[in-house]
Chain A
Amino acid sequence: DAGVIQSPRHEVTEMGQEVTLRCKPISGHDYLFWYRQTMMRGLELLIYFNNNVPIDDSGMPEDRFSAKMPNASFSTLKIQPSEPRDSAVYFCASSFGTSYEQYFGPGTRLTVT
């Protein structure tokens, strides 16, 4: 298996622009997680899905952030409008059940200028 795939790997955008991050989980996994990692705040869970349904989005910072999972093999995290404080590495991870290890994608490094 190719593992969790994320795109793009790097994104540089200007404040106010819309940013869309993409994730393809490992085939057969029923949980998908979106994380954000910064030096100041560490690794934070933003939202997670079970069988394509959002279970907990309490970690989403504000209404500028939204996430969707239209099918079992694809998810997006959108930031609109983006701000410099959104600069971080965004990881997507998937797992089979919650009592099993999560496999992380390589991350998207977002820089908002």
Chain B
Amino acid sequence: GQNIDQPTEMTATEGAIVQINCTYQTSGFNGLFWYQQHAGEAPTFLSYNVLDGLEEKGRFSSFLSRSKGYSYLLLKELQMKDSASYLCAPTTDSWGKFQFGAGTQVVVTP
């Protein structure tokens, strides 16, 4: 089976930085996705890491360490609209099938 661990909830103020950690154990790993999901909406893609290191995309960055089974999503200059659930999803086989973590609910306060 697969095991994905990420915090349930994090709270931060507007303009701050929040780091969401994700650890995983999967039987076949090719890469790791991060998705954002606002309440009542579908998930939307944020990032995909295949190699170790940091990928930066504007205010969002994602880091991967394959040897440690660890990733984080960094949200900078938080805005109220960033209040959402953030889902970590490592791939679990060579086909690219992946499994979503339970999600981290980020609450941004004024």
Which positions in A face B, CB cutoff 8 Å? 31, 42-45, 48, 50, 55-56, 91, 97-107
B54 at the interface (CB under 8 A from A): no
B109 at the interface (CB under 8 A from A): no
Interface of B is mostly: loop
Q: Is the CB of B42 within 8 A of A99?
A: no
Q: Is the CB of B42 within 8 A of A42?
A: no
Number of interface residues of B (CB under 8 A): 22
Q: Is the CB of A99 within 8 A of B50?
A: yes
Q: Which single residue of chain A is at the shortest CB-CB distance from B42?
A: A104
Q: Which one, B16-24, B58-66, B90-98, is touching chain A?
A: B90-98
Chain B residues closer than 8 Å to A91, beta-carbon distance: 42-43
Partner of B100, one of A42, A56, A97, A99: A42
B79 at the interface (CB under 8 A from A): no
Q: Is the CB of A98 within 8 A of B42?
A: no
